[in-house]
Amino acid sequence: MIIAERKPLPELMEMLAGVERLLIVGCRGCVAVCSAGGDKEVSVLATALRLGRKLAGANIEIDEDTYVRQCDPEYLEPLKTRGKDYDAVLSMACGVGVNFIADRCPGVNVLPALNTTFYGANLSSGEWAEMCAGCGACILHLTGGLCPVARCAKSLSNGPCGGSVGGRCEINPDVPCIWHQICEKLTGRKQDKLLRKIMPIRDWRPAGHGGPRRRVREDLLP
């Protein structure tokens, strides 16, 4: 899922300077699952911003709502008109939601409440880790299902850099060297011949270096 975290409150307060009527809109997709922008977080942020504004000697009128998703057009329909009643709409979705509101709801002043950070998995309650870089050219069949693009600090394609110690990455001993894990896994499965396969220089165009990406499925088009 997409992992995100709330922006620092002073940054949000500065962003909302001059805003007197605010609508905070959460999203029940990924950001609700990673406890960054669901119903609960909307409620916490609304109360925090009211308190922050009062501490600054002023008031702010805040309404709250949460949509099923902010990345599908049907859920944004009500916001096209409702959003114009507010000085700003603070989206608690990932950057996709903020962009989609900006695209689909002209006249609505949409602002981001979150920093969208990575595609990750839930390691345990309250802990997430990056597992995919969305590079658009999966090589997981060659690496035992472990992604060196996302999980190697240098995104190396052909084995470890040589800086790891005891299976830990040189950037931080809390980070496992993913190439160490790939080697152990493939060797254990007797698939070490995959390790001798030289991967060509990566084409980063599918990763977004060729401009914004788009996918079309003709059979699903209206």
104 binds other proteins (CB under 8 A): no
Distance CA 56, CA 9 (A): 13
Q: Rule CB under 8 A: which of 10-29 touch other proteins? A: 10
161 binds other proteins (CB under 8 A): no
162 binds other proteins (CB under 8 A): no
Contact criterion met (CB below 8 Å) for 130 and 151: yes
Nearest distance, CB of residue 9 and other proteins, angstroms: 4
DSSP SS3 for 136: coil
Helices (H), the chain: 9-15, 30-33, 39-55, 73-82, 95-104, 148-151, 178-188
Nearest distance, CB of residue 37 and other proteins, angstroms: 15
Single out the residue of 4, 16, 46, 89 in contact with other proteins (rule: CB under 8 A): 46
Q: For residue 83, give both structure tokens.
A: 């959003």
Cα distances (angstroms) measured from residue 47 to each of 54, 61, 180, 216: 11, 11, 46, 41
Nearest distance, CB of residue 108 and other proteins, angstroms: 25
35 binds other proteins (CB under 8 A): no
58 binds other proteins (CB under 8 A): no
54 binds other proteins (CB under 8 A): yes
Binding site for other proteins (CB under 8 A): 8-10, 40, 43-44, 46-48, 50-52, 54-57
